[in-house]
Structure 1
Amino acid sequence: MSADLLELEHVFGYSGKFQSTVHYHPTEPTMIIYTIGSLIVIEDINNKHSQWFLKGHDNDVTSISISNNGYLIASGQVGSQFHKHHEAPVIMWNYQTKAPITQFGGLVGKIIKVEFSRDSAYLSALTEDGRLIVWDCRDGSSIYNRRGEFPITSFAWGAVTELNQGLRGANKHNSYTLAACYPGQVVVNSFDYEIASMSYKITTAACQLPSAGMSRVYTCAACDTAGAYYFAGTNSGEIIIFNIQNRVFRASIPLSSNGILCILEVGGYLYVGSGDGKIKKLVGGDNKWSIVAEAQLPGKVVSLSYGRNEIISGTSLGCIFRLMPGDLTNTLHSESPIGAVRDVSFGLRSDMFLVIDAAGFARIWDSSDYTVILRVGPTNRIEGFSCAVGEDGCVLTGWKDGYIRCYDPQSSTLRWEIPNAHKGAVSALFINSNYILSGGEDGALRVWARMSHQLLVQFTDNKRTLTRVFPDLKLTNLIHSSGIDRIINTYDLKLERRVVHHEIGSGNILDMTQRKDNELELITCGVGNAILFWDCDEANPVQHIPLRVSIISIEVSPSGKFLAAGSEMGELFIFEVGTNNLISQGAVHSSKINRLRWSPDQKQIVTVSDDCSIALWNFYGQ
């Protein structure tokens, strides 16, 4: 087996589901760090071809932080599905080696936020149940672990006071400020080292609030560079300002109608991102601030980070933007799906591919520069299920509401639609110059006229969802279908009836392809089954490829020499057709591969996954 035949070129997939998930590297200004499912991605912002991946989490990464010295990355996740108590570990990584240094366990549920102290010596994490923990980055020991009567909802490190207490190594034990938000209260924790006890003494003081009280739910927080002021965002759209040196409330500034989700302080300016998609730049001090610039982005603004003369922002619609700090002029850096990616298809061109996702979008990507050149979908965001590209470039899509919709690739407008093509989702599509094939959740296979879109014939032998439909490679009057009810059928369009029937005893069939050599056998895969080869003259499979994991998607390469297979664990396998030898494999997705497709020139493979990601692989086989 040779891993050299398969090379991961690029991964798309920033979903924007969580706050604080896009950052500039503090000492390497062209590098950004962001999340894709359970992966952490390091990318050169000026060269999208340069990506590195940190793999260690087994569920979505919910927050990341980079130490100010640039040496460390910290990440937290949603509770693991593979542990009884849904543990949510925090991992600390070495940025240079891209390897984990240590993993902090004992946390459950979900990590809300991770953040390094300003001198990079300590790491703090906040859990879903309001527990705040602080670890020493040098030895991994915990110096603070507390959950109060009311859960903490956000926090931020403040100033670091450098001290030399006569110990070996100047400034060995600095003093720290860590401010935290409770519902209706903000407290300031002071960490001061005591030589007598050889440990930190932690004192907590509440900030003085207005006499009328202030009941707020805090959603994010940041401290200014000097460590004098604490800015807390609320779900009602305000930023609340506290002087944390004097422990006193200073101002409440309403900024949004849909909550504050991120706050960034740079050079005396405040940049505030909110749920209404706006980023507002404020200037001022103490209790007097004014808005001097504003930008409107699509979706909620969930992350803000500053690099050298630039701000980067992540939104809930899977977009990453680059903004100028002065007037907030912005450009789109990347766009990704925000729902499980269900299907992928190539047309005649190898440099463009179509995907459809569960969030209600179908997009065409240009694989040369990773940009979206077409984005379509119903206005009411129906869940997408299947897609295909016609010989004329038309974009054929299948949806949860049973509609087949066809879009113009140039204007993005709807060309035509077939209402109620199926009861339930349109789960499989095929298009050529003669007809359109569709399979549905209702188990029906329907054949539609290519030009008039009228129903020509239908077959209803399956009772559950069809997973693949396509014509025979040799006899074009034959149509093959597979379904999750374990049935493979072949129909003769001339006779308008079923002519071949295969059925397996257990499991299901999730995908099907066809050999292109003289055998022309059908190949199937599914949960609880190996990869099976079927001959029309034999009732049982004529050969199989056993594997340790279930295969979800398969496709024979354009040359017919290779078989690509995607697994439930997100792995990609390449087999040699004929010998069935495994010749290469790779893994990048954190969830199952729903579909994969070869490019027409056989130089690339695209895999799409439940974790909202799309992977573009280079293949060097002949």
Structure 2
Amino acid sequence: MDDETQNILQLELKAVIGFNGCVPSGLRLHPDKKHLIYPLGNIVMLKGIEDGKQEFLRHSDNVSCISVSKSGSYIASGHISLRGFKAPVIIWNFAERTIYAELFFHTAKVEGVAFSPSDKYLVSLGGIDNNSIVLWNLETKEYICGSPASACSAGFCLTVRYSNSDDNIFTSAGSGTLRVWQLDVARRKIIPTECKTGKLTRIVKCIEISEDDRYMFCGTTSGDILKINMATKILNQHGPIKAKYNMGVNVLKMESGKLLVGSGSGILALCSSDDLKTIRQVQLEKGVTSIDGSKEGKLLFVGTEGAQMYRLNFDDLEAELISTGHVGAVNDIAIPLGTSELFATCSVEDIRVWRVGMPTELLRIKVPNMICNCLDFMTDGNSIISAWNDGKIRVFGPKSGRLMLTINNAHKMGGTAIAGTRDCKKIVSGGGDGEVCVWELLPHTHRLLAIMKKHEALVSCIKIRSDDKECVTASAGGTCIIWDLECFDSLQSVIASTFFKTVCYHPDEHQIVTSGTDKKITYWHVYDGSSIREREGSQSGAINSLDITKDGNHFVTGGDDRLLRVWDYLQGSITHTSMPHAASITCTRICSKNCILISGSADGGIWLWKFPHPLASS
């Protein structure tokens, strides 16, 4: 692969769909009011509000926290690392989109970061493995001082927040700790003062400070808010007393003298900062985790743990959904035959149908508390077939999302692979138990035609020949089997020391191509199962997905090294590669017109690329 890199071109990225809404206060509006800043996997995304242009600031591991300086000159972000390894804080120069400084102190995780009001200092908070607070000098990029975040060994800190006007004061809170810190510059020390809350014992998840720095508001897991006098460090009041926020208070934001509250149940409320009484509220889908806005324009941007972004008007809290995404890994992608305008994806709890051009979500098919492992469009485009972890096969209408058919108890250990025949009369499915089942579709019902049992482990992929007479299945047990779909017996098998992740027929159907955990791409003869060619497909990690063009001239691979590669089939060489995804690539698909390449990843991200080898006729 190294000898060929000089001839490899870069894939053109069209758009990325995705947002990690579980990062506390992860969605930020830049002070220029032209960019949204948010995390996806190991990337801090910068997205133009007007033009939708996306830019990337990349960590080596998943981003855990984000802060933007008051001037907008800097962005700070931390990430989650392996236990025992350093987790740096990276400070980015916003104008240049470059690293300004990397600050190393914390291990395993950076829990929070906050800039001082004049951009003079940065405070960082370590995770539970290293729950310390550290102050950094932004000009010299050096450590000033640090301290344990909590006086109690059993306590731990969850959040930090700087004063709005004083570079020498910041606050922190969590379980068993609620502190106001004073910086002593001459002695290079930060001195904490514990806040007094009387008999109230709370776990604080978030902090907001009033614009005049008189009060600190603390959102708790109990669903109420503590109002602390910053001068006396004494509890001023708390509320609401009766109608507490279900599932706790995740985020607080002061706006025009009032307090915005985001709860774990999806309530976004506008409250009086004086008595904490609710003025108005709106119900959003999933827990609210981020609130940011433009004070002059009274425009709010809200993020939820359901990977959704909303734009709201401050005056009436009328919500407009501007972005959606998957919460969990994208398990599969399907593109209807003969189109490059639509595609479907599946993940935790749902199947989604998207329009390519915008890109926007057109339809969501939800099955609560279930995971859709795989899906496909039937050739006529009239149904979406899908296999789920509860062992059921579900067939849905692609426009309405209506459940058209359920096959109960299709696979004891969950459905893991599925494909439909070209004549739309049969479904072939595979499960975690290694069984391959053939189902006949009848008007308003179904019939089991055969159970084929030669695989010893999970069936990871199924592809059917164009004449519907044969199919090939790949297995975690290191076997690929070609089956006769008329007599339901095996015709040929290939064996390798790998977990086969995927298999594809070449369009001439004399060869199959496989990939898996051995990082190899292998061509095999269908007739006798012999190996024809083997290529190193990745230098690190499994190749999880492989798809081949309709003309058979090119194929694409993606895997744990986070890179997409486009290959010339005959030469066995790479023609194009991508910039790294934000997480492991789980699935890839090329539309039948060779216009669009779509890839999904373990962080829920969906990446759309211009396919570099269009069909000669297109």
Fold match by TM threshold 0.5:
yes
SS at match of 1:69: coil
Select the residue among 550, 557, 561 that pairs with 1:565: 557
Kindly indicate whether the alpha-carbon contact (under 8 Å) linking 1:575 and 1:583 is maintained by their aligned counterparts in 2. yes
2:581 aligns with 589
2:3 aligns with none
Looking at structure 2, the residues matched to 457 and 181 of structure 1 have their Cα atoms a distance apart, in angstroms, of: 60
Q: 1:530 to 1:152 in 2, by over 3 A?
A: closer
1:169 aligns with none
What is the correspondence of 1:87-102 to structure 2 with a 5 Å cutoff? 87-102=86-101
Where do 5+ consecutive residues of structure 1 fail to align?
A: 162-174
Kindly indicate whether the alpha-carbon contact (under 8 Å) linking 1:347 and 1:393 is maintained by their aligned counterparts in 2. no
Q: 1:193 to 1:491 in 2, by over 3 A?
A: closer
SS at match of 2:510: coil
Corresponding position: 1:520 with 2:510: yes
Deviation at 1:185, TM superposition (A): 5.0
Select the residue among 71, 93, 96 that pairs with 2:73: 71
Amino acid at match of 1:123: L
Kindly indicate whether the alpha-carbon contact (under 8 Å) linking 2:391 and 2:410 is maintained by their aligned counterparts in 1. yes
Q: 1:249 to 1:472 in 2, by over 3 A?
A: same
Corresponding position: 1:472 with 2:465: yes
Looking at structure 2, the residues matched to 469 and 290 of structure 1 have their Cα atoms a distance apart, in angstroms, of: 57
SS at match of 1:498: strand
Which moves more between the two structures, 571-580 or 4-13? 4-13
Kindly indicate whether the alpha-carbon contact (under 8 Å) linking 1:521 and 1:534 is maintained by their aligned counterparts in 2. yes
Cα deviation code 1:264-311 (max 9, x no counterpart): 1122111111112111112343xx343222111111111111134311
Deviation at 1:613, TM superposition (A): 1.4
Which moves more between the two structures, 443-452 or 93-102? 443-452
SS at match of 2:398: coil
Deviation at 1:5, TM superposition (A): 5.7
Amino acid at match of 2:434: G
Cα deviation code 1:61-93 (max 9, x no counterpart): 111011111111111112x23xx6133221111
Looking at structure 1, the residues matched to 476 and 316 of structure 2 have their Cα atoms a distance apart, in angstroms, of: 54
Deviation at 1:539, TM superposition (A): 4.2
Deviation at 1:26, TM superposition (A): 1.0
1:511 aligns with 502
1:619 aligns with 611
2:24 aligns with 19
What is the correspondence of 1:381-460 to structure 2 with a 5 Å cutoff? 381-390=369-378, 391-431=380-420, 432=422, 433-451=424-442, 452-460=445-453
Cα deviation code 1:561-611 (max 9, x no counterpart): 111001211110011110111111013323322211101211111111222
Looking at structure 2, the residues matched to 5 and 214 of structure 1 have their Cα atoms a distance apart, in angstroms, of: 58
2:301 aligns with 312
Which moves more between the two structures, 105-114 or 32-41? 105-114
Deviation at 1:536, TM superposition (A): 2.4
Amino acid at match of 2:125: L
Deviation at 1:520, TM superposition (A): 3.1
Looking at structure 1, the residues matched to 402 and 511 of structure 2 have their Cα atoms a distance apart, in angstroms, of: 39
2:106 aligns with 107
Corresponding position: 1:338 with 2:327: yes
Looking at structure 2, the residues matched to 566 and 573 of structure 1 have their Cα atoms a distance apart, in angstroms, of: 7
Q: Under a length normalisation based on structure 2, what TM-score does the superposition of the two structures give? A: 0.91
Q: 1:480 to 1:376 in 2, by over 3 A?
A: same
Cα deviation code 1:544-577 (max 9, x no counterpart): 1123233211111122111100121111001111
Corresponding position: 1:543 with 2:545: no
Looking at structure 1, the residues matched to 502 and 104 of structure 2 have their Cα atoms a distance apart, in angstroms, of: 39
1:229 aligns with 215
Looking at structure 2, the residues matched to 581 and 187 of structure 1 have their Cα atoms a distance apart, in angstroms, of: 59
Looking at structure 1, the residues matched to 10 and 612 of structure 2 have their Cα atoms a distance apart, in angstroms, of: 5
Looking at structure 2, the residues matched to 158 and 386 of structure 1 have their Cα atoms a distance apart, in angstroms, of: 49
Q: Under a length normalisation based on structure 1, what TM-score does the superposition of the two structures give? A: 0.91
Corresponding position: 1:375 with 2:368: no
Q: 1:365 to 1:247 in 2, by over 3 A?
A: same
Which moves more between the two structures, 463-472 or 535-544? 535-544
1:601 aligns with 593
What is the correspondence of 1:176-255 to structure 2 with a 5 Å cutoff? 176-181=168-173, 183=175, 186-194=178-186, 200=188, 202-210=190-198, 213-254=199-240, 255=244
Q: 1:114 to 1:3 in 2, by over 3 A?
A: farther
Where do 5+ consecutive residues of structure 2 fail to align?
A: 1-5
The size of the alignment, in residue pairs, is 590
1:124 aligns with 123
SS at match of 2:165: strand
1:166 aligns with none
Cα deviation code 1:145-203 (max 9, x no counterpart): 11042233322111434xxxxxxxxxxxxx52112225455332222544xxxx55544
Q: 1:62 to 1:185 in 2, by over 3 A?
A: closer
Kindly indicate whether the alpha-carbon contact (under 8 Å) linking 1:482 and 1:511 is maintained by their aligned counterparts in 2. yes
SS at match of 1:502: strand
CA RMSD in angstroms, aligned pairs only: 1.9
Looking at structure 1, the residues matched to 192 and 259 of structure 2 have their Cα atoms a distance apart, in angstroms, of: 27
Select the residue among 19, 35, 38 that pairs with 2:39: 35
Kindly indicate whether the alpha-carbon contact (under 8 Å) linking 1:341 and 1:613 is maintained by their aligned counterparts in 2. yes
Q: 1:319 to 1:595 in 2, by over 3 A?
A: same
SS at match of 1:382: strand
Select the residue among 333, 341, 344 that pairs with 1:354: 344
Looking at structure 2, the residues matched to 367 and 160 of structure 1 have their Cα atoms a distance apart, in angstroms, of: 46
Looking at structure 2, the residues matched to 450 and 152 of structure 1 have their Cα atoms a distance apart, in angstroms, of: 57
SS at match of 2:578: strand
Q: 1:157 to 1:439 in 2, by over 3 A?
A: same
Select the residue among 274, 277, 300 that pairs with 2:263: 274
Deviation at 1:105, TM superposition (A): 1.6
Looking at structure 2, the residues matched to 179 and 5 of structure 1 have their Cα atoms a distance apart, in angstroms, of: 46
SS at match of 1:363: strand
Kindly indicate whether the alpha-carbon contact (under 8 Å) linking 2:59 and 2:79 is maintained by their aligned counterparts in 1. no
Kindly indicate whether the alpha-carbon contact (under 8 Å) linking 1:508 and 1:529 is maintained by their aligned counterparts in 2. no
Looking at structure 1, the residues matched to 41 and 10 of structure 2 have their Cα atoms a distance apart, in angstroms, of: 26
Cα deviation code 1:510-550 (max 9, x no counterpart): 10112224x73100001114100001244431111123233
Which moves more between the two structures, 588-597 or 322-331? 588-597
1:44 aligns with 48
Q: 1:334 to 1:442 in 2, by over 3 A?
A: same
Cα deviation code 1:424-471 (max 9, x no counterpart): 121111113232111111111121113342112231111211122122
Q: 1:608 to 1:185 in 2, by over 3 A?
A: closer
1:170 aligns with none
Looking at structure 2, the residues matched to 501 and 184 of structure 1 have their Cα atoms a distance apart, in angstroms, of: 61
Deviation at 1:262, TM superposition (A): 0.5
